[in-house]
Structure 1
């Protein structure tokens, strides 16, 4: 698996800024891992910050664009799916290819209510059908339900790492 070039990372940063989105990124010093999976709105700056504390040259091996509002939910779900491979924090003992595959699977599961609907309009009996646009109000209701569902499925942090002062006492 090949890492992104610095020019590609710069182009991604320009896209992020112009579109006002976030990215879920996969960073590692080597494609064989370990990898860091996180979110950012400015990839070059984030990579520079990570490089400061790392003796090995870090490279970007994967980038997934997402809305800023969904970045935290997606990142949390990906990291929860990989909790068995967690080394420390956002670092995982998997290869970049395994990380990319896990990210894709998790994102697909989050963005599709039914996996069989994933390719609607592209193949099978749905080919050629037009779909009625969903109203803004209906989308808000669906969005709120999904956020509530995803929030229930994201594991809470251990009590000793909680930011709640009542828990720390």
Structure 2
């Protein structure tokens, strides 16, 4: 059985683990520090408003990927001014789970990802974002890592399976 938790990426001062717990995340692993204050932490569960609570508290953009058995990733991005976007990773596998792809249209996801990245002060690679949101991988965590790189997160490295 694969990973069914999630991953949160944000720029936060202070202990990300404590900030996440206060925002409603549960089963939080130790945060990985990237660069320029960006951190990534895996979690087992998140409440419906956990990411919004975290963004409101920290005043920084956040990106959350919820994993379904390491096969599919549901992406949500949120900025402090309330702009949000959604995307889907491993679309081909999502179809096999009968997840309606029309609920996750590609063009709004690409536009949202690029706007999120710019709002976070990053420089995204539009073609790489598009490839990530349309690509497939044995483990969706690979696409999640590729998305961080495509969004321009400093210090992000793509996992090699």
Structure with more strand by fraction = 2
Using structure 2 for the length normalisation, give the TM-score.
0.35
Structure with more helix by fraction = 1
Structure label with greater radius of gyration: 1
